Amino acid sequence: MSSDSEILVGRKPQMSYVLACITAFHKGIDEIIVKARGRSISKAVDVVQMVRRKFMPDVVIKDITIGTDEIKLEGTQEVKRVSSISIVLKRTRKR
């Protein structure tokens, strides 16, 4: 997958990620992955629902993967565990 096909949800406003998804589909990419960790997971779900319901009804959820990422904290040996989600969106037809 190219970097254009992966949307990493973080601290920006929700509509920034919605626009990124729509832009990727209009570039001709048929499948994108919306990824998030920790507190951003609910925002990622909201982004996917907005894309599907309000802007692109021809987009379907192909796959959802949940997991736990381990992040090493800088300067220490500590490892922090953070929940993560990856939602694969696929465009079913082209305009």
List the pLDDT tens digit at each of the 95 positions of the chain.
Answer: 457 799 999 999 999 999 999 999 999 999 999 999 999 999 999 999 999 999 999 999 999 999 999 988 888 889 999 999 999 999 987 55
CATH of domain 3-91: 3.30.110.20
Per-residue tokens: 78: 């500590």
Distance of CA 80 to the CA centre of its chain: 22
∠ Cα 86 92 95 (to 5°) = 125
- Going from N- to C-terminal start, the domains of the chain cover 3-91
pTM of the model: 0.88
Q: Phi and psi at residue 76, in whole multiples of 5°?
A: -135, 170
